[in-house]
């Protein structure tokens, strides 16, 4: 910094003089000007503190127009940025929501399919309105073809789930006579009285059993006694475990 | 000594009273304070130069404050308030620095 007013060289003597001058100037001299100077200094101290305080609590109201404009544009910019962020987040929220809905929909459809297939394949218990066909055969006169006919008639009448004794009837179920005069259903022997449970429209099923020349008539001719019991709720609770086919392989089809 | 005492008392009173600056004074006070500080340093330098005069100090103090406030007022009216304030602060700051440098040479020979 250039100091054009301070060209005179100073030495130790001058420094002593300077301190003495300062002391002299500082010594109390009750003159009017000195008093005024003190008042001014007092006002200066007060003003400094007031300004410092003011600066520390300053709000927007003391700012100049251009500063306010700058702050306003800053705030505008921030607002734009934040609303853009809000838009982004909302769109991703929508995306996630729709994805979740789609997944739930797919899961519901899959569950429905699983239930239907479970009932078809015999891996899920089923209950509903249906009939209970009871064939009393103490002398073991009934052969497997009667049960097979009964099952086929029930299927033809729209039975959705059938159980013979404790064996679920599915696509692979077979009937055979055993040597002891009994009947084997898919390898497990059932003994009289034969109880066939079928879920479906009860009246249709019962009608199919009782038509002339139908199952009940055939049973009676064979020497057994068949009775049909219409129930509001029949439980088909025998289960099969699904075995993976050993030879059959699905042929890939073009899914729509 | 008495002006220094006055300054200390003023600071103390300000701390005790916790004053708020009235709105009409708010744009001018900071510049006025800087101008007054310039006058004070100028006065100390004048003492050391041996040319101090109470009258000159009082007049320069008041005129500094009034002129600084007037410049700020004018700048606000002309729409260049902040630039002019900055200019005044720079000029007064330079003056304070040069005064302090002179005082330093007088007192410490450095």
Instruction: Tell me if B106 and A54 make a contact (CB, 8 A cut-off).
Output: no
Q: How many domains does chain B have?
A: 1
Given B2, B33, B48, which is nearest A34 (Cβ)?
Answer: B2
Q: Is residue B4 part of a domain?
A: no
CA B33 – CA A231 distance, rounded (Å):
103
Residue A8 is predicted with a pLDDT of 47
Tens-place pLDDT, residues A178-191 = 887 778 888 888 88
pLDDT category at B94 given cuts 50, 70, 90 is very high
Instruction: Tell me if A1 and B1 make a contact (CB, 8 A cut-off).
Output: no
Given A10, A34, A44, which is nearest B109 (Cβ)?
Answer: A10
Q: Is residue B103 part of a domain?
A: yes
Which range of residues forms the domain containing residue B93?
A: 22-108
Q: Is residue B11 part of a domain?
A: no
A&B contacts, CB < 8 Å: 153
Q: Which stretches of chain A are assigned E, i.e. beta strand?
A: 126-136, 161-164, 167-169, 175-177, 183-185, 188-190, 194-199, 225-236
Q: How far is A78 from chain B (nearest CA, A)?
A: 25
List of domains in chain A: 127-236 (3.30.70.1880)
- A46 pLDDT more than 90: no
Tens-place pLDDT, residues A125-152 = 888 999 998 888 888 888 888 888 888 8
pLDDT category at B15 given cuts 50, 70, 90 is confident
Q: Is residue B5 part of a domain?
A: no
Q: Output the CA–CA distances (angstroms, integers) from residue B31 to B18, B73, B90, B98, B109, in the order listed.
A: 20, 11, 11, 18, 32
Residue A25 is predicted with a pLDDT of 67
Q: Which residue has the higher pLDDT, A14 or A227?
A: A227
Q: Is residue B15 part of a domain?
A: no
Tens-place pLDDT, residues A229-239 = 888 888 888 88
Q: Which residues in chain A are contacts of B27 at CB distance < 8 A?
A: 62, 64
Mean predicted confidence (pLDDT) in A65-76: 90
Residue A255 is predicted with a pLDDT of 65
- A78 pLDDT more than 50: yes
Q: Output the CA–CA distances (angstroms, integers) from residue A1 to A34, B36, B96, B97, B101, in the order listed.
A: 32, 22, 12, 8, 9
User: What ipTM does the predicted assembly reach?
Assistant: 0.78
Q: Which residues in chain A are contacts of B51 at CB distance < 8 A?
A: none
**Contacting residues for A208 by C-beta, under 8 A, at least 6 apart:** A153, A154, A156, A157, A214, A215
Q: Is residue B6 part of a domain?
A: no
Instruction: Tell me if B82 and A64 make a contact (CB, 8 A cut-off).
Output: yes
- A86 pLDDT more than 90: yes
Q: Is residue B33 part of a domain?
A: yes
Tens-place pLDDT, residues B17-73 = 878 878 788 778 888 889 988 988 888 888 888 887 878 888 888 898 899 888 888
pLDDT category at A3 given cuts 50, 70, 90 is very low
Residue B53 is predicted with a pLDDT of 80
pLDDT category at A9 given cuts 50, 70, 90 is very low
pLDDT category at A4 given cuts 50, 70, 90 is very low
- B88 pLDDT more than 60: yes
């Amino acid at each position: 910094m250039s100091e054009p007013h301070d060209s005179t060289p100073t030495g130790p003597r001058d420094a002593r003089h300077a301190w003495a001058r300062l002391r002299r100037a500082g010594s109390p001299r009750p003159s009017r000007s000195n008093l005024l100077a003190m008042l001014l200094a007092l006002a200066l101290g007060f003003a400094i503190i007031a300004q410092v305080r003011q600066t520390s609590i300053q709000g927007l109201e003391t700012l100049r127009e251009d500063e306010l404009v700058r702050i306003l544009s800053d705030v505008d910019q921030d607002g734009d940025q934040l609303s853009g962020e809000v838009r982004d987040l909302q769109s991703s929220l929508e995306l996630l929501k729709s994805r979740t809905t789609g997944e739930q929909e797919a899961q519901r459809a899959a569950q429905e399919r699983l239930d239907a297939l479970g009932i078809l394949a015999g891996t899920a218990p089923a209950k509903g309105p249906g009939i209970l066909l009871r064939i009393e055969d103490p002398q073991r006169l009934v052969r497997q073809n009667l049960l097979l006919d009964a099952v086929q008639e029930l299927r033809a009448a729209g039975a959705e789930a059938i159980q013979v004794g404790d064996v679920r009837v599915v696509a692979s179920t077979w009937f055979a006579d055993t040597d002891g005069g009994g009947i084997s259903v898919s390898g497990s022997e059932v003994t009289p009285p034969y109880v066939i449970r079928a879920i479906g429209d009860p009246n249709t099923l019962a009608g199919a059993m009782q038509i002339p020349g139908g199952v009940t008539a055939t049973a009676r001719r064979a020497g057994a006694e068949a009775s049909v019991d219409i129930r509001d709720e029949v439980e088909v609770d025998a289960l099969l475990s699904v075995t993976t086919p050993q030879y059959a392989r699905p042929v890939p089809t073009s899914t729509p | 000594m008495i002006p220094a005492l006055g300054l200390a008392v003023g600071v103390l009173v300000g701390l005790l009273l916790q004053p708020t600056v009235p709105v009409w004074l708010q744009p001018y006070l900071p510049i006025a304070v800087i101008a007054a500080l310039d006058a004070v340093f100028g006065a100390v330098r004048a003492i050391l130069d041996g040319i101090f005069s109470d009258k000159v100090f009082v007049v320069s103090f008041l005129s500094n404050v009034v002129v600084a406030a007037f410049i700020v007022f004018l700048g606000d009216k002309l729409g260049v308030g902040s630039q002019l304030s900055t200019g005044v602060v720079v000029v007064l700051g330079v003056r304070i620095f040069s005064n302090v440098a002179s005082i330093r040479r007088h007192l410490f020979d450095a």
